[in-house]
Amino acid sequence: MAEFSFELDEEQRAVRDWVHGFAADVIRPAAAEWDEREETPWPILREAARIGLYSLDFYAQQYFDPTGLGIPVATEELFWGDAGIALSIMGTGLAAVGVLANGTEEQVGTWVPQMYGDADDVKVAAFCSSEPDAGSDVAAMRTRAVYDEAKDEWVLNGTKTWVTNGGIAHVHVVVAVVDPELGSRGHASFIVPPGTPGLSQGQKFKKHGIRASHTAEVVLDGVRVPGSCLLGGKDKLDERLARARERARTGGGERVRNAAMATFEASRPAVGAMAVGTARAAYEVALEYAKTRTQFGRPIIDNQGVAFQLADMRTRIDAARLLVWRASWMAVNGRPFTAAEGSMSKLFAGETARTVTAQAVQILGGNGFTRDYPVERMHRDAAIYTIFEGTSEIQRLVIARTLSGVHIR
């Protein structure tokens, strides 16, 4: 049995400190400006690419860390710097994981490097699943992919929404329906290469938070992609669809559902780590403020009413991080998520970020309500963590179904 420890090893500490340095020196000072501009912070992405932080190599190194802590540790530090800018840096990773999870070795080798570009020509990528009528209810997806056998091409039609980097991405990964009879088991993922005719950006959203991250609709109008852009390949898709049809006929399907759930359970802790980063940032500002702000002739932290809030904030943040680390470790070590521990980590960390940033605003009083202090922005940013990658309600649904075996609605 391996020795038990909560301590990061030397290499992990070095990575954490390096990412923290970038977050403190480059991201934090630029956060308010890019929040106001509501644009992708390309100069910061270029700077991150120049030092190797925004790169496939760095992401892959963290992704394959055998302890599972590479991604959560780096993510927490980046989001401690600023959530909007950090999502511009990490958003490509979410699309890359879509290819790593479903693509062949050749597809991974061809497309994932193109998603990042290089330091002289930085690129971003997008993962397009959500639609106007298919958010939490993924099975309601309508975007169709139809195979044109004569040309060995797939033709995509539909509208995606809420896409991080949508329309500005070099490579788009698009999930579409190939067999409408099979619900979410009839979906497949496609690469849309750069410059493909028919793909365009729709509305760009003006958001409440994470405003430095670009979010937009993606319209697919007769988009034709080569057969080689179907992730996993046609033979694998045909086999999968045949199995799904057989299960639909015989009433099975549990194994397929479990495989899809395992993928989500493995990716959700990364979003939990984002939330921990934002919560920790707001807590630190509030702690410092409470020690220096004087009212009634003493620092406000001298009051239990303030000090106990800070105690609760820190306790929740540490608990959230432990849930995130546990789920990340489980994912890498192939442990079964028998209590939906990945969803648990995202649920608790997301709710923690919302609560802690609201408490930070309260502790800063009037100053907390202004854009002169960063907790106002952090509070707006934190709202996303209970919405994207499955809302808090959907996480509770997944946890409750997993625990009970009952298909709770």
Ligand X SMILES: Cc1cc2nc3c(=O)[nH]c(=O)nc-3n(C[C@H](O)[C@H](O)[C@H](O)COP(=O)(O)OP(=O)(O)OC[C@H]3O[C@@H](n4cnc5c(N)ncnc54)[C@H](O)[C@@H]3O)c2cc1C
Closer CB to ligand X, residue 129 or residue 352?
129
Minimum CB–partner distance for residue 87 and ligand X (Å): 8
Closer CB to ligand X, residue 69 or residue 399?
399
Contact call for residue 384 and ligand X (CB under 6 A): yes
Closer CB to ligand X, residue 61 or residue 159?
159
Which residue, judged by CB position, is nearest to ligand X in the bound state? 135
Cα–Cα distance measured from residue 94 to residue 287, given in angstroms and rounded to the nearest whole number? 33
Cα–Cα distance measured from residue 43 to residue 164, given in angstroms and rounded to the nearest whole number? 18
Q: Provide φ and ψ at 157, rounded to 5°.
A: -140, 135
Closer CB to ligand X, residue 207 or residue 354?
207
Minimum CB–partner distance for residue 125 and ligand X (Å): 10
Among 48, 360, 382, 397, binds ligand X (CB under 6 A): 397
> How many residues sit in the footprint of ligand X (CB under 6 A)?
21
> Which range, of 304-312, 341-349, 354-362, 393-401, touches ligand X by CB under 6 A?
393-401
Cα–Cα distance measured from residue 188 to residue 168, given in angstroms and rounded to the nearest whole number? 22
Minimum CB–partner distance for residue 207 and ligand X (Å): 6
SS3 track for the chain: CCCCCCCCCHHHHHHHHHHHHHHHHHHHHHHHHHHHHCCCCHHHHHHHHHCCCCCHHHHHHHHCCCCCCHHHHHHHHHHHHCHHHHHHHHHHHHHHHHHHHHCCHHHHHHHHHHHHEECCEECCEEEECCECCECCCHHHCCCEEEEEHHHCEEEEEEEEEEEECCCCCCEEEEEEECCHHHHHHHEEEEEECCCCCCEEEEEECCCCCCCCCCEEEEEEEEEEEEHHHECCCHHHHHHHHHHHHHHHHHCCCHHHHHHHHHHHHHHHHHHHHHHHHHHHHHHHHHHHHHHHCEECCEEHHHCHHHHHHHHHHHHHHHHHHHHHHHHHHHHHCCCCCCCCHHHHHHHHHHHHHHHHHHHHHHHCHHHHCCCCCHHHHHHHHHHHHHCCCCCHHHHHHHHHHHHHCCCCC
Closer CB to ligand X, residue 162 or residue 325?
162
Among 162, 283, 337, 373, binds ligand X (CB under 6 A): 162
Contact call for residue 391 and ligand X (CB under 6 A): yes
Closer CB to ligand X, residue 136 or residue 292?
136
Minimum CB–partner distance for residue 367 and ligand X (Å): 27
Contact call for residue 388 and ligand X (CB under 6 A): yes
Residue numbers 211-270 binding ligand X by CB under 6 A: 215
Contact call for residue 337 and ligand X (CB under 6 A): no
> Which range, of 29-37, 156-164, 240-248, 351-359, touches ligand X by CB under 6 A?
156-164
- Give the active site residues: 389
Minimum CB–partner distance for residue 152 and ligand X (Å): 27
> Which range, of 58-66, 284-292, 313-321, 391-399, touches ligand X by CB under 6 A?
391-399
Inter-residue contact 84 to 381 (CB < 8 Å): yes
Minimum CB–partner distance for residue 246 and ligand X (Å): 28
Among 88, 107, 164, 357, binds ligand X (CB under 6 A): 164
Contacts of 287 (CB under 8 A, 6+ apart): 301, 310
Residue numbers 105-144 binding ligand X by CB under 6 A: 127-130, 135-136
Contact call for residue 203 and ligand X (CB under 6 A): no
Closer CB to ligand X, residue 116 or residue 127?
127
Minimum CB–partner distance for residue 314 and ligand X (Å): 27
Closer CB to ligand X, residue 168 or residue 387?
387
Among 32, 108, 319, 387, binds ligand X (CB under 6 A): 387
Contact call for residue 163 and ligand X (CB under 6 A): yes
Of 185, 204, 187, which is closest to residue 256 (Cα–Cα)?
185
Query: Which residues here bind ligand X, judged by CB under 6 A?
Result: 127-130, 135-136, 162-164, 207, 210, 215, 384, 387-391, 393-394, 397
